[in-house]
């Protein structure tokens, strides 16, 4: 794969990226850390917007889903710097923004988190990057997840927003990001009430933050109940809600304990709705893969 970035045809390069990632998932040719290194090299070399977006998606997935927490932290500074350097070297606005969004997503070191906070606080985007209100809101949520200033950051962002619905969304998400485990418990328990699930996109966003890799030591306890609630979610929500519910809950787990929760549930419900069972197994597929791939 040393010649990967010399492939002239963008579609063929994309096919090569996909093949490399799929092979990694099955334990062939690449270990996750090896592929992370290879894909990171492409951040400055790949200029096709769709391909760069694909690479960044894979980098984020490998970083959060297939890298052990201690290893992730040891790789953070180098990956952050690679993304920042590539953002400065890429020439198109869209490519710069793709790289900045990934930088924001993976930021773990104090230096990177401080950089993100300064950009958000001053509302001064990096050179060549165009950021809108939604981008600053996303940044505020990311800062809240990774810092001890959850309430103040979200309230400051609420004050900047004029749209009432967007203000309410931030208020809805605030307890899911709380440093207080009891507040996060209350958020999850509130979802038993159908009235609190009306804004399904808000719910899935909240569940994603609740079950983020940085929170999983305390959020794994929500997994069994999330599965038990699935039939009601299907009955009371949009046709796509069960899949998005499961994706937000199981999307980034990598532990044997999380995989066992799914196995135990399937075993305890041999006559479970086949369609819902299929959705569970599909959503947990990467959990099973990570169980084997992450040391």
Question: Tokens standing for 256?
Answer: 């044997």
The pLDDT value recorded for residue 1 is 64
CB 64 within 8 A of CB 72: yes
The pLDDT value recorded for residue 221 is 97
The pLDDT value recorded for residue 179 is 92
Counting as low any pLDDT under 70, the low residues of the chain are 1-2
CB 141 within 8 A of CB 209: yes
Give, in degrees to the nearest 5, the angle at Cα 184 between 180 and 190: 145
Give the C-alpha separation, 162 to 125, whole Å.
20
The pLDDT value recorded for residue 194 is 96
- What is the phi/psi pair of residue 217, to 5°? -65, -25
What residues contact 282, with CB distance under 8 A and at least 6 apart?
Answer: 243, 246
The pLDDT value recorded for residue 2 is 63
Q: What is the DSSP letter of 46?
A: -
Question: Tokens standing for 182?
Answer: 């009891």
What are the distances in angstroms from CA 240 to CA 188, 235, 250?
A: 20, 11, 16
Give, in degrees to the nearest 5, the angle at Cα 34 between 28 and 40: 125
**CA nearest 144: which of 132, 133, 158?**
158
Give the C-alpha separation, 31 to 203, whole Å.
34
The total of other beta-carbon atoms located within 10 Å of residue 12's CB is 10
């Amino acid at each position: 794969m040393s010649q990967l970035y010399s492939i002239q045809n963008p579609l063929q390069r994309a096919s090569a990226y996909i093949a490399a990632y799929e092979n990694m998932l099955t334990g062939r040719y690449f270990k996750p850390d090896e592929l992370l290194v290879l894909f990171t090299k492409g951040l400055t070399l790949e200029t096709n917007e769709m391909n760069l977006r694909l690479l960044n998606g894979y980098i984020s997935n490998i970083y959060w889903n297939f890298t052990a927490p201690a290893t992730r932290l040891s790789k953070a500074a180098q990956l952050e710097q690679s993304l920042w350097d590539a953002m400065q070297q890429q020439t198109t606005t869209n490519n710069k923004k793709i790289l900045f969004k990934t930088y924001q997503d993976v930021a773990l070191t104090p230096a990177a988190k401080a950089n993100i906070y300064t950009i958000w606080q001053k509302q001064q985007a990096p050179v060549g990057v165009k950021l809108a209100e939604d981008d600053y809101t996303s940044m505020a949520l990311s800062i809240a997840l990774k810092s001890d200033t959850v309430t103040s950051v979200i309230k400051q962002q609420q004050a900047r927003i004029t749209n009432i619905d967007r203000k309410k969304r931030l208020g809805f998400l605030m307890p899911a990001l709380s440093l207080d485990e009891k507040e996060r418990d209350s958020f999850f328990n509130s979802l038993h009430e159908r009235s609190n699930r009306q804004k399904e996109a808000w719910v899935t966003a909240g569940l994603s933050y609740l079950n983020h890799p940085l929170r999983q030591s305390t959020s794994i306890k929500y997994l069994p109940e999330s599965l038990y609630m699935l039939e009601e979610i299907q009955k009371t929500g949009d046709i796509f809600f069960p899949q998005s519910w499961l994706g937000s809950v199981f999307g980034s787990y990598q532990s044997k304990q999380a995989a066992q929760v799914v196995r135990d549930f399937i075993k305890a419900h041999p006559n479970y709705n086949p369609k819902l069972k299929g959705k569970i197994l599909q959503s947990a597929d990467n959990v099973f893969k990570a169980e084997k791939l992450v040391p």
